[in-house]
Amino acid sequence: MVGSFIYTDKITTASKETDELLLEIKSKKDGYKENATPPIIKDDTIIPGTSGKEVDVEKSYQNMRQVGYFDDKLLVYKKIPVDNPLDKNKDKYVIGGTNSKKGISLIFKTTQNDDITNIIKILNKNKIKGSFFIDSTYLEKHHNQIINLIEDGHTIGNLSNNEDYEDSDFVWLKTIITNIGPQTYNYCYTPKPNKKIIKICSIQDSFTIMPTKIIKQNPLMNIKKSLTPGAIISLEVDSALNNQIEAIINYILSKGYSIASLEDHLRE
């Protein structure tokens, strides 16, 4: 029985090697390959690279055997990982997402007394995911809202206790953010290089975001000046932003940009 099984297996392997469909997949696979692009690292800043893909010959063959001919819609791909990925560079400031796609990420910097209800409503209406950076006091006051945001696919950033990353609230907030829903990473925030923050956050296995653009007033007017592929744009939550958020979203989309949460925007 064992010998018969081995003989049958050899015949099957030999048949596959001369199968015209399999040979066609092998001959065409390189035309569908997309190489990974490396990150852009300059001094202590980083913009993540993008993963590539290549045809999984065996799985593609199994798919096409069922129809009996080559169909590129039935190709199955496997990921080509980025060399030197973002996860290995937590000691660098993240200043943007990949600029190979026309996408941006919006950060809503939220203090304990801010009302983000309207912002959430507009984002959800447009099926857009945002990133809300909060401190520990905000979480204590609005924990149900934050849990819902994470479960809905928005990203929550960590401002510790009043942006003091040496405070024990930083680790407490990180633990909650990364354990109550699908969010994988913890994100710190700094408007400019800060060695103390980057050291603390990297030790705590967290990314430090240094936004491409920080907008504190006239949000719509300044957004119009700030759109570049891959940008991370930080917005102060105030009455002006609440009044203009729908116009801001509509303008960004009208220019052909997509808007993603930080978690998605930085995904390689």
pLDDT in tens, 176-222: 999 988 899 999 999 999 999 999 999 999 999 999 999 999 999 99
Q: Which residue has the higher pLDDT, 176 or 12?
A: 176
- d(CA 212, CA 226) in angstroms, rounded, equals 9
**pLDDT score of 14 more than 90:** no
> Helix (H, G, I), strand (E, B), or coil: what is residue 158?
strand
The domain ranges of the chain are 2-32+50-82, 93-265
Q: CA nearest 170: which of 154, 159, 184, 157? A: 159
**pLDDT score of 132 more than 50:** yes
What is the pLDDT confidence band of residue 11, given thresholds at 50, 70 and 90?
very low
Which residue in this structure is represented by tokens 């759109």? 227
Asked if 209 contacts 157 with a C-beta cutoff of 8 angstroms, the reply is yes
Share of the chain above pLDDT 90, in %: 88
pTM of the model: 0.87
pLDDT digits (tens, 9 = 90+) for 84-98: 999 999 999 999 998
Q: What is the mean pLDDT of residues 36-56?
A: 96
Find the helix packing angle between 20-28 and 57-65, rounded to 10°.
140
Asked if 163 contacts 135 with a C-beta cutoff of 8 angstroms, the reply is yes
pLDDT digits (tens, 9 = 90+) for 138-173: 999 999 999 999 999 999 999 999 999 999 999 999
In the predicted model, what is the mean pLDDT of the chain? 92
**pLDDT score of 264 more than 50:** yes
Three-class HEC string of 37-81: ECCEEECCEEECCECEEEECHHHHHHHHHCCCCCCHHHCCEEEEC
Please state which CATH class domain 93-265 belongs to. alpha beta
Two structure tokens written together for 199: 């050291």
pLDDT digits (tens, 9 = 90+) for 233-256: 999 999 999 999 999 999 999 999
Strand duo 45-47 + 40-42: pairing? antiparallel
What is the pLDDT confidence band of residue 7, given thresholds at 50, 70 and 90?
very low
- d(CA 75, CA 173) in angstroms, rounded, equals 43
